[in-house]
Chain A
Amino acid sequence: MAVDIEQYKKDLLAQGAEVVFSKTKNLTDTPFSYCGGCGHGVAHRLIMEVIEEMGITADTIGVAPVGCAVIAYEFWNIDAVQAAHGRATAVATGIKRTNPEKFVFSYQGDGDLAAIGTAETVHTCNRGENIAIFFINNGIYGMTGGQMAPTSLIGMRSSTAPYGRQHDVHGYPLSLTNLLAELPGTYYVTRQAVETAAHVRTCKKAIRQAFENQKLNKGVSLVEIVTNCNSGWKMTAPQANKWMKENMFPQYPLGDIKVPKTE
């Protein structure tokens, strides 16, 4: 080996090297339960970093319903509530209405937000609750072992659509985010991803925006994050990211869908 790594590090420290990136203290030391390469970890980290950077940990309550992130409270070093499947935004409504001064967010998967919780999601957005909704869309039910999601793509194979999703049998991929953007109760709606460093940076800005918006009392901020599920998709993590770019992004294009009008 050409370089003694330990010596190299010592040399750089001697030259004044300092930490420019480390784990936020808003994450616990418990290792994530997610599969290697899963986007949940990055999404968790970004939300926790934003809360730390804004200095609002003591005023933030998170809600994690059923899905892969159901035990998110094991990883988030903040106060949190686990909710029943699909009910996250109703729970968040109950928290926010009785604690309007707190920052409240829900963290939901596609099954939770766009299937079993559709009514709660639509009506929370329609009421314009002053909460942030983080919506993790990976087109499959990861926690229960790879079943079809409302957001599964046409032709996409899953354990409950083993021959691929067919629109005449299973319906079409549901882009609830776009529908929600139509509601006057949503203030900020954007679709992001976390598979490249550039996308991670943009996504973090969107998450920050979603929290900042809560100070304005102008309605729901919804950040959809399109992520991979390499286990559910039966791929390696790098393959999954490539597949996501080629297949998920055309169906769920990244970018802002509804941005606050500048006054």
Chain B
Amino acid sequence: MAEEIQLLKGNEAIAEAAIRCGADAYFGYPITPQSEIIEYLAQEDPYNKRTGMVVLQAESEVAAINMVYGAASTGKKAMTSSSSPGMSLKQEGISYLAGAELPCLIVNVARGGPGLGTIQPSQADYFQTVKGGGHGDYNMIVLAPYTVQEQYDFVKLGFDLAFKYSNPVMILSDGAIGQMMEKVTLSAQVPRETKDYGWNVLGKSENRERRYITSLYLQSEVMEQKNLKIQAKYAEIRKNEIRYEEIQTDDADYILVAYGISARIARKVIRLARAEGIKVGMLRPITLWPFPSARLKELAPKVQGMLTVEMSAGQMIEDVRLAVEGAVPVKHYGRMGGIIASPTEVFINFKKLFNIA
């Protein structure tokens, strides 16, 4: 069969991927720059026209994430999406989802903050996303797409990982990836199906014990055991699911560390640098949690410096510094407020930061 290729906006790719990978439900609340996700789904009307997938505009992000919690409790593939201020509202629900070990997919098409901020792209939600923005000890698997194709592919991957580990998965995108159009190779339609996973509530039949979904364990000893179980799962995820891409790191003297839209800028910086004879490579984390710390540590002694390119005041830089354990200087360059730095600007500042003439 011929490949099915379509020109799609990043946000539309999320929606189309959701329908095609057999998602059961989307619950969301409009916010720029990601409203095309729910608009596309509403237009496509998968409930009536394609797969029977539920699409519902909730009264708030708080309600939306809790609708996801409800649907996920029954073993359904449920998702929501939002942008930064809306993600703040979802944090309570995400903590509950992590605590109850429910699988779901959450998409953050990030914009500049703090506060109401701006509707322009940003990567300033890194801390909130990878450190657990809600209360308690928890982590989400965080996928960072840097093309519209990845934006599409990570929906299925996200659901697969969510169900494999019974854990919320986040796609941390940004307003630029969400809004730009690229060609996307589409996957075949997968039918929706709900399995009995042994934990999902489906109604108690005569021949089995009741099931309940909860994150409440009033006895400290029991709560600690629950935490240890979750931490063991996280250790397993750290072992199995670290994903990253390396570009020209073999001979590199300097390594740029960047994800999402910044990785596209960094890719161009490599060319600018190499044209001047400066050997620059890039490590692009695809999973922001778990973070490719071990690989960065491995690379550190071979290079003279690392630069994180982030659209924030410098957040991922902390994880890079932790990874290299002081073996190499780690600097940051980035713009805030929704400004995407140009490759030339990054290159000039890279040279300044590392005193390269």
A63 at the interface (CB under 8 A from B): yes
CB-CB under 8 A from A87, the residues of chain B are 62-63, 66, 69, 93
CB-CB under 8 A from B214, the residues of chain A are 73, 81-82
Whether B54 and A90, one on each chain, are in contact in the complex, defined by CB atoms closer than 8 angstroms, is: no
Q: Smallest CB–CB gap between A71 and chain B, Å?
A: 7
Question: Interface-forming stretch among A10-18, A96-104, A146-154, A196-204?
Answer: A96-104
CB-CB under 8 A from A63, the residues of chain B are 70
Closest to A122 in B: B59
Count class of interface residues, chain B: 35 or more
CB-CB under 8 A from B100, the residues of chain A are 82
Given A78-B210, A80-B212, A119-B59, do A94 and B204 touch, yes or no (CB 8 Å)? no
A91 at the interface (CB under 8 A from B): yes
CB-CB under 8 A from A59, the residues of chain B are 203
A83 at the interface (CB under 8 A from B): yes
Whether A80 and B59, one on each chain, are in contact in the complex, defined by CB atoms closer than 8 angstroms, is: no
CB-CB under 8 A from A60, the residues of chain B are 203-204
CB-CB under 8 A from B76, the residues of chain A are 98-99
A49 at the interface (CB under 8 A from B): no
B73 at the interface (CB under 8 A from A): yes
A148-199 contacts to B (CB < 8 Å): none
Given A77-B204, A95-B71, do A120 and B25 touch, yes or no (CB 8 Å)? no
Whether A84 and B92, one on each chain, are in contact in the complex, defined by CB atoms closer than 8 angstroms, is: yes
A58 at the interface (CB under 8 A from B): yes
CB-CB under 8 A from B73, the residues of chain A are 61, 81, 91, 94-95
A79 at the interface (CB under 8 A from B): yes
A259 to B66, alpha carbons, bound, how many Å? 30
A70 at the interface (CB under 8 A from B): yes
Given A71-B218, A84-B96, A98-B78, do A93 and B202 touch, yes or no (CB 8 Å)? no
Instruction: Select one of B201, B205, B216 contacting A61, CB under 8 A.
Output: B201
Whether A81 and B213, one on each chain, are in contact in the complex, defined by CB atoms closer than 8 angstroms, is: yes
Whether A84 and B203, one on each chain, are in contact in the complex, defined by CB atoms closer than 8 angstroms, is: no
Instruction: Select one of B74, B96, B215, B218 contacting A98, CB under 8 A.
Output: B74
CB-CB under 8 A from A90, the residues of chain B are 58, 62-64, 66-67, 69-70
A123 at the interface (CB under 8 A from B): yes
Instruction: Select one of A56, A91, A97 contacting B54, CB under 8 A.
Output: A97
CB-CB under 8 A from A209, the residues of chain B are none
Name which of B25, B64, B211 has the most chain A CB atoms within 10 A of its CB: B211
B303 at the interface (CB under 8 A from A): no
Q: Smallest CB–CB gap between B47 and chain A, Å?
A: 9
Whether B216 and A93, one on each chain, are in contact in the complex, defined by CB atoms closer than 8 angstroms, is: no
A102 to B69, alpha carbons, bound, how many Å? 16
CB-CB under 8 A from A73, the residues of chain B are 210, 212, 214
Whether A61 and B66, one on each chain, are in contact in the complex, defined by CB atoms closer than 8 angstroms, is: no
Count class of interface residues, chain A: 35 or more
Whether B204 and A123, one on each chain, are in contact in the complex, defined by CB atoms closer than 8 angstroms, is: no
Q: Smallest CB–CB gap between A197 and chain B, Å?
A: 29
A98 to B214, alpha carbons, bound, how many Å? 19
B206 at the interface (CB under 8 A from A): yes
Instruction: Select one of A58, A81, A102 contacting B212, CB under 8 A.
Output: A81
Q: Smallest CB–CB gap between A10 and chain B, Å?
A: 34
A70 to B96, alpha carbons, bound, how many Å? 14
B68 at the interface (CB under 8 A from A): yes
A120 to B204, alpha carbons, bound, how many Å? 27
B46-97 contacts to A (CB < 8 Å): 54, 56, 58-60, 62-64, 66-74, 76, 78, 92-93, 96
Whether A91 and B69, one on each chain, are in contact in the complex, defined by CB atoms closer than 8 angstroms, is: yes
A91 to B92, alpha carbons, bound, how many Å? 13
CB-CB under 8 A from B69, the residues of chain A are 81, 83-84, 87, 90-91, 94
Q: Smallest CB–CB gap between B27 and chain A, Å?
A: 7
A63 to B100, alpha carbons, bound, how many Å? 14
A24 at the interface (CB under 8 A from B): no
B24 at the interface (CB under 8 A from A): yes
CB-CB under 8 A from A113, the residues of chain B are none
Closest to B201 in A: A79
A57 at the interface (CB under 8 A from B): yes
Q: List 25 A-B contacts (CB under 8 A).
A: A57-B205, A58-B204, A58-B206, A61-B73, A61-B201, A61-B202, A61-B203, A76-B210, A78-B204, A79-B210, A81-B70, A82-B216, A93-B63, A94-B69, A94-B70, A94-B78, A95-B201, A97-B54, A98-B24, A98-B78, A99-B202, A119-B62, A119-B63, A120-B63, A120-B66
Q: Interface on A for B, CB 8 Å cutoff?
A: 28, 56-61, 63, 70-71, 73, 76-84, 87, 90-99, 102, 119-120, 122-123
Beyond A81-B70, A94-B73, list 6 extra A-B contacts (CB 8 Å): A78-B203, A83-B96, A84-B66, A84-B92, A94-B70, A102-B203
